[in-house]
Structure 1
Amino acid sequence: MGADIHGFVECRATYGTLDEDDAHWNAAIDLDLLYGGRSYDAFGCLFGVRNHAGFRPLAGERGLPADVSSQTRQSYEAWAPGGHSPSWISWAELAAVDWDEPAEAVDERVQRYTRTPDRSWVLTSKSFRGRHNRPEGAEWVEDGVLFRVVRMVRRDAVPEDGEWAPVWKTMSALADVHGGENVRLIVWFDS
């Protein structure tokens, strides 16, 4: 069974607040409105879930923050007992990420490439079959398919212009008004 991600972008509105300590977190937008994908590479890189590519998770196993908004808490609790691996990450943390940082381990899966009409190779899938303890950098062709054993970098898992771009744009816009520490992504998974 696959794993899907759920959650909210939350914001602690500080604009016009006299005492920032009194500001509380609000669920700004449901993640389902911004991200509809299922990228295990991104899930592993960001939160350590289905981490086949061997990344050091940016925000693994943090749980729900104690000051989570009531809407986010209620939505998470509605998934019980099926919701798991709750975590969160602030925009300030995401903005400081080195997206060229390599994974700590070689990807457990073999990348499969097929030829396009112009004869270039394009990544079409990843598979647990075929690796047989081949070393990092190994590549071979079988039946017109190119196979590679690679170590990914964070940018490979979460491309800047990929499926996560609407999430990052939303968080960035909120951070422009309220500051990066006052914007966070709270997630959980089902499987």
Structure 2
Amino acid sequence: MGTDISGFLEYRVPRDGREPSWRAAHELGYLYGGRDYDAFGCLFGVRNYANFRPLAAGRGLPADLSAAVGARIAELTERHGEDGLHGITWITWAEVEAVDWDEPAERPDSRLHAYRRTPDGLRMTGKAAWSRAFAEAVGLERGEVREWPEGGEWLVGDTLYRSVTIRRRDAVTGTGEWQPVWRAMKELAAQHGDDNVRLVVWFDD
């Protein structure tokens, strides 16, 4: 079973001299429909196999959550129980704007990256924490996982296994699935200010 992300974009507006309030703008599902664990780990610390320092992990729900998002959370909690949702957190557009996308993960990816040789050079074919062929070649027990040094390489048959540390921009690419989310947040920020736009997310398995 995999892990999926849900959430809302919110923006904050003044209320006739009273405390500004947050309002729901867009449901995340209309902007992002992927299931990219590298992005989940990089941004929110969920399924963080790539070992990033998460940008916004474990913050819980904002105390000033918009009424629409609060109602959705209550509905989902009633339907799925208290343990149905996890990884609840949020991040502002100001924080996204400040990200150093060249920052590497803190340690090499927990999954070895696999490549095949082609006439055009190496082609990545996937990554996994455990491979039977690799385990047999290096003497791992079934299911045993180790941390491998950065840059380590093992040629097993016609597959090259490599230990790699990835950067934030590898997890959340400049032209990838998160761009509609960033574009919508940027447009809202142009109207309301960078600190007055945020993404609230939660995960379910």
TM-score of the two chains, using structure 2 as the length reference: 0.85
| 1:66-100, Cα deviation, whole Å (9 max, x unpaired) | 11111111222232221111000000001001111
CA distance in 2, matches of 1:93, 1:45: 13
The answer as to 2:45 corresponding to 1:43 is no
Cα displacement (A) at 1:23? 2.6
Q: 1:109 to 1:72 in 2, by over 3 A?
A: same
Q: How much is the aligned-residue C-alpha RMSD, in angstroms?
A: 1.7
Alignment partner for residue 66 of structure 1, among 58, 63, 68?
63
CA distance in 2, matches of 1:134, 1:161: 30
CA distance in 1, matches of 2:191, 2:125: 40
Match in the other structure for 1:90 = 92
The percentage of aligned residue pairs carrying the same residue is 52
Match in the other structure for 2:128 = 127
Q: Which amino acid aligns with 2:3?
A: A
Match in the other structure for 1:2 = 2
Cα displacement (A) at 1:103? 0.9
Match in the other structure for 2:108 = 106
Work out whether residues 58 and 88 of structure 2, in 8 Å CA contact, stay in contact via their aligned partners in 1: yes
Cα displacement (A) at 1:115? 4.4
Work out whether residues 108 and 148 of structure 2, in 8 Å CA contact, stay in contact via their aligned partners in 1: no
Cα displacement (A) at 1:145? 2.1
Larger displacement relative to structure 2 (174-183 or 121-130): 121-130
The answer as to 2:180 corresponding to 1:166 is yes
Q: 1:124 to 1:27 in 2, by over 3 A?
A: farther
Can you give the 5+ residue segments of structure 2 that lack an aligned partner in the other structure? 135-144
CA distance in 1, matches of 2:112, 2:16: 54
Work out whether residues 112 and 123 of structure 1, in 8 Å CA contact, stay in contact via their aligned partners in 2: yes
Q: 1:148 to 1:93 in 2, by over 3 A?
A: same
CA distance in 1, matches of 2:125, 2:70: 38
Cα displacement (A) at 1:133? 4.3
CA distance in 2, matches of 1:53, 1:188: 20
Q: Which amino acid aligns with 2:196?
A: N
Cα displacement (A) at 1:113? 2.2
CA distance in 1, matches of 2:13, 2:156: 56
Cα displacement (A) at 1:18? 6.0
Work out whether residues 54 and 103 of structure 1, in 8 Å CA contact, stay in contact via their aligned partners in 2: yes
Match in the other structure for 1:149 = 163
CA distance in 2, matches of 1:134, 1:66: 41
Q: Which amino acid aligns with 1:45?
A: C
CA distance in 2, matches of 1:42, 1:34: 15
TM-score of the two chains, using structure 1 as the length reference: 0.90
Cα displacement (A) at 1:13? 3.2
| 1:156-184, Cα deviation, whole Å (9 max, x unpaired) | 11111111011001101111111110000
**What is the DSSP-based 3-state SS (H/G/I as helix, E as strand, rest coil) of the residue aligned with 2:65?**
coil
